[in-house]
């Protein structure tokens, strides 16, 4: 037996011992470990080498486009085929990864109430379409691990009290203390469900159509390991663990971020790393910043965590013209050690989360941000606190409309403000995730909100491919301008070693109206000073504040212009960004 295989068996068993400590399970942890390892098709012959610790499976070339499988549709072919054609036509030279949001049969929440994890939604395409996309792009898929649809076969069996799934779901009795539970919804936590064995109270963190799994049952864990193996076989290389923070429950606690949840992630990382070493796990934990960072573990949990505090802080910066809070947050962020990184984004299929701004913006500042977004057509989703009080949970708005003005109102600088947001995000430490409706500068979709009665639909437009191509062919439309300018920025980014996700980052002190940071490549050969005017008036950058080395030549990578050091300062136009580098590689 190889040392690597022996270590794998011992490590998986240790994870299981921690997970099921104090829980009665039908098999020993050793037996469960062997079963999980077999499911991943790992054996003494194939397992010859242990994963190299602290290894980065990413570079400055990695950009992930976030999209639904049907964000772009055509009358003549399946949406996944249309998506693949769009990617190849418009972004193949600048974007190398794609996150296709849940592409499985579902009953609600635009895919996040999964009916069947093992098949592709027929309205989108099939597994061959998924495999085709994964052959050209790094494919990121959701593992909707906390809950599934109440219309799934598993939940049907739960109701019948027989067959696979009959014991998969978390239920409680009247003695279970739920008074401290933290969750992002206002609906009742428990759903009374009539089963063959009587009424059972089923736990529903998000909605009554999304029923939570019971991970105290090893069969649930085994089912998800089998799902992971299937996704690997179809080309998935990035796993997004959806809503994973809520996975483990314990009476009398918040039922969020519990230690056994972290241990489940460690177990999944171990199995995935041995099965496909270049795969990575990203945890989706829309929670306060300090809690979010715990999902790195000691470089043994998530390879990457969503940088959830970035969207509210960056939008707040650009609508107030004051970068104080963004700068303070950036200075507080620990550098991600090798083997881990941040996943940066400023727009998504959901909204601008406000929980990650807790402790970073005070209540008055959050209220001002909410009011400003509402004045630009945004909507607000709420959550219920212990005791019944409601609090804003997220702002639902398209990013292009979120940045159409400032706290003073809408103005004519919306596109410059919008591009500035991306110039900042693309330069930060971490892997950029770019939402398709930001790439295309899609505005608020009120018709879709009316049709679905869901606030989040405001930023989930479905484009007709012919209409979209017509818009993109006209270089005066906001969609064409945004695509062209974003592609220009990405073409620059992917050639800069100083933009490696783990390259050094240092926050610059340039006052409240200029936001800046310095990046240095891992080999220390390239430096880039990233400076943005985050206001609606001109700002002066004083050369002595950034201390460029006089023996080097310096260029603004965005314009290609050389920076003349004998000038004492230079002017940035409203929302202008410069990437000042000692090497000009474009």
Q: Using 50, 70 and 90 to split pLDDT, how confident is the model at 550?
A: low
Q: How many CA within 13 A on the CB side of residue 242? A: 24
3-state secondary structure 516-571: EEEEECCCCCCEEEEEEECCCCCEEEEHHHHCCCCCCCEEECCCCCEECCCCCEEE
The pLDDT score that the predictor gives to residue 44 is 83
Q: Is the dihedral of CA 443, 446, 452, 453 positive or negative?
A: positive
70-74: long-range contacts at Cβ-Cβ below 8 A with a sequence spacing of 24 or more?
70/123, 70/124, 70/462, 71/436, 71/437, 71/460, 71/461, 71/462, 71/463, 72/436, 72/462, 72/463, 72/464, 72/465, 72/468, 73/462, 73/463, 73/464, 73/465, 74/464, 74/465, 74/466
Spot the catalytic one: 70, 129, 242, 536. 242
- pLDDT at residue 384 above 80? no
Burial of 274 (0-12, 13-18, 19+ CB in 10 A): buried
**Top-level CATH class of 504-581?**
mainly beta
For 223, the enclosing helix (H) or strand (E) is helix 218-233
Alpha-helical runs (H) found in 47-164:
79-90, 127-136, 153-160
What average pLDDT score do residues 314-335 get? 97
Annotated domain spans of the chain: 65-95+306-494, 504-581
Residue 456 assigned as binding residue: yes
- pLDDT at residue 551 above 70? no
The pLDDT score that the predictor gives to residue 545 is 83
Q: Using 50, 70 and 90 to split pLDDT, how confident is the model at 567?
A: low
Answer whether 204's CB lies under 8 Å from 189's CB.
Answer: yes
- pLDDT at residue 348 above 90? yes
Strand, helix or coil at 441?
coil
- pLDDT at residue 6 above 80? yes
Strand, helix or coil at 210?
strand
pLDDT in tens, 435-489: 999 999 999 999 999 999 999 999 999 999 999 999 999 999 999 999 999 999 9
pLDDT in tens, 75-107: 999 999 999 999 999 999 999 999 999 999 999
Q: d(Cα 571, Cα 549) in Å, to the nearest integer?
A: 20
Answer whether 467's CB lies under 8 Å from 400's CB.
Answer: no
Q: Which fold has domain 65-95+306-494?
A: TIM Barrel (3.20.20)
The pLDDT score that the predictor gives to residue 382 is 83
Q: d(Cα 347, Cα 435) in Å, to the nearest integer?
A: 6
pLDDT in tens, 431-442: 999 999 999 999
Average pLDDT, the chain: 95
Residue 240 assigned as binding residue: yes
- For residue 321, the 8-state DSSP code is T
Residue 191 assigned as binding residue: no
What average pLDDT score do residues 516-526 get? 96
C-alpha angle 140-248-187 in degrees, rounded to nearest 5: 85
Residue 242 assigned as binding residue: yes
What average pLDDT score do residues 560-586 get? 86
Q: d(Cα 204, Cα 324) in Å, to the nearest integer?
A: 39
Residue 233 assigned as binding residue: no
Q: Is 242 a catalytic residue?
A: yes
Residue 350 assigned as binding residue: yes
- pLDDT at residue 536 above 90? yes
Give strand pairing partners of 352. Answer: 395
- pLDDT at residue 214 above 90? yes
Q: Using 50, 70 and 90 to split pLDDT, how confident is the model at 28?
A: very high
Q: At what angle do helices 79-90 and 465-473 cross, to 10 degrees?
A: 20
Alpha-helical runs (H) found in 289-435:
289-293, 310-320, 324-332, 363-375, 399-402, 414-427
pLDDT in tens, 124-147: 999 999 999 999 999 999 999 999
- pLDDT at residue 586 above 70? no
pLDDT in tens, 142-180: 999 999 999 999 999 999 999 999 999 999 999 999 999
Which pairing describes strands 138-144 and 236-242: parallel, antiparallel, or unpaired? parallel
pLDDT in tens, 232-254: 999 999 999 999 999 999 999 99
The edge-to-edge listing of strands for the beta sheet with 190-195 is: 171-172, 198-203, 190-195
SS3 content of the chain, % helix, strand, coil (to 5): 35, 20, 45
């Amino acid at each position: 037996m190889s040392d690597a295989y022996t270590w794998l068996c011992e490590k998986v068993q240790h994870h299981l011992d921690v997970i099921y400590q104090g829980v009665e399970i039908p098999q020993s942890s050793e037996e469960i470990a062997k079963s999980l390892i077999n499911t991943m098709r790992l054996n003494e012959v194939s397992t010859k080498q242990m994963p190299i610790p602290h290894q980065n499976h990413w570079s400055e070339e990695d950009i992930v486009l976030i999209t639904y499988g049907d964000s772009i549709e055509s009358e003549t072919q399946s949406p996944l085929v249309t998506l693949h054609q769009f990617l190849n036509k418009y972004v193949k030279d600048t974007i190398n990864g794609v996150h296709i949001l849940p592409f499985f049969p579902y009953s609600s929440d635009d895919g996040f109430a999964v009916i069947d994890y093992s098949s592709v939604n027929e309205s989108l395409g099939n597994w061959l379409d998924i495999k085709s996309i994964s052959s050209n792009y790094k494919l990121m898929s959701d593992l909707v691990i906390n809950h599934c649809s109440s219309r799934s076969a598993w939940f049907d069996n739960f109701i019948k009290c027989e067959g696979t799934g009959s014991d998969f779901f978390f239920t409680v009795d009247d003695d279970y203390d739920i008074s401290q539970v933290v969750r992002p919804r206002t609906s009742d936590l428990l759903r009374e469900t009539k089963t063959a064995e009587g009424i059972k109270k089923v736990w529903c963190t998000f909605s009554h159509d999304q029923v939570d799994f019971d991970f105290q049952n090893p069969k649930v864990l085994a089912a998800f390991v089998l799902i992971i193996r299937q996704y690997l076989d179809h080309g998935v290389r990035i796993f997004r663990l959806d809503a994973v923070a809520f996975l483990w429950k314990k009476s009398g606690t918040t039922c969020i971020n519990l230690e056994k949840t972290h241990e489940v992630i460690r177990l999944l990382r171990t199995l995935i790393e041995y099965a496909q070493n270049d795969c990575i796990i990203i945890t989706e934990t829309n929670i306060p910043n300090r809690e979010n960072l715990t999902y790195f573990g000691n470089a043994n949990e998530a390879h990457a965590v969503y940088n959830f505090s970035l969207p509210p802080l960056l939008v707040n910066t650009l609508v107030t013209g004051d970068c104080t809070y963004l700068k303070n947050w950036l200075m507080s962020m620990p550098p991600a050690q090798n083997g881990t990184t941040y996943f940066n984004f400023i727009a998504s299929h959901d909204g601008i989360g406000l929980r990650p701004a807790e402790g970073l913006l005070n209540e008055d500042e959050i209220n001002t941000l909410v009011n400003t977004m509402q004045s630009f057509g945004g909507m607000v989703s709420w959550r219920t606190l212990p005791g019944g009080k409601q609090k804003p949970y997220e702002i639902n708005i398209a990013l292009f409309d979120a940045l159409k003005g400032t706290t003073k109102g809408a103005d004519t600088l919306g596109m410059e403000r919008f591009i500035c947001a991306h110039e900042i995000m693309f330069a930060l430490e971490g892997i950029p995730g770019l939402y398709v409706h930001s790439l295309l500068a899609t505005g608020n979709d009120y018709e879709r909100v009316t049709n679905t009665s869901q606030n989040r639909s405001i930023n989930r437009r479905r484009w007709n491919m012919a209409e979209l191509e017509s818009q993109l062919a006209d270089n005066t439309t906001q969609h064409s301008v945004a695509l062209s300018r974003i592609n220009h920025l990405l073409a620059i980014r992917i050639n800069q070693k100083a933009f490696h996700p783990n390259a050094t980052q240092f926050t610059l002190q340039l006052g409240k109206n200029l936001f800046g940071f310095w990046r240095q490549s891992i080999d220390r050969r390239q430096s880039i000073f990233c400076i943005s005017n985050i206001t609606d008036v001109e700002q002066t950058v004083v050369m002595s504040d950034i201390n460029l080395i006089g023996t080097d030549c310096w260029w603004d990578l965005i314009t290609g212009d050389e920076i003349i050091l004998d000038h004492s300062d230079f002017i940035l136009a409203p929302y202008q960004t410069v990437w000042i580098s000692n090497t000009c590689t474009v």
